[in-house]
């Protein structure tokens, strides 16, 4: 019994995963719907959905004239 220690790990980041999934799906729908409908246009739209926060930061900095 001297070395019988148990550690309980509680992971509380579950709700953020769902929020990020919804954001990705929404961005994917937006970028794919704005594509020209070709195969590579859809692929590009899905890739843009992954990096859309970079677009937000870029346009925010442009708006602030930074």
Q: How many angstroms separate the CA atoms of 21 and 51, rounded?
A: 13
- Indicate whether 61 pLDDT > 90: yes
- How sure is the predictor about 14, in pLDDT bands with cuts at 50, 70 and 90? confident
DSSP for the chain?
Answer: -TT----------HHHHHHHHHHHHHHHHHHHHTS-SSHHHHHHHHHHHHSHHHHHHHHHHHHTT-
Task: Give the pLDDT confidence score for residue 66 in this predicted structure.
Answer: 66
Q: Domain ranges in the chain?
A: 14-63
Read off the pLDDT of residues 26-36 as tens digits, 9 standing for 90 and up.
999 999 999 99
């Amino acid at each position: 019994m001297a070395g019988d220690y148990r550690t309980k790990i509680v992971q509380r980041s579950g709700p953020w995963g769902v929020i990020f999934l919804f954001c990705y799906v929404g961005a994917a729908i937006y970028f794919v719907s704005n594509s020209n409908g070709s195969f590579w246009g859809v692929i590009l739209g899905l890739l843009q959905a992954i990096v859309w926060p970079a677009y937000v930061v870029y346009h925010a900095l442009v708006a602030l004239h930074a």
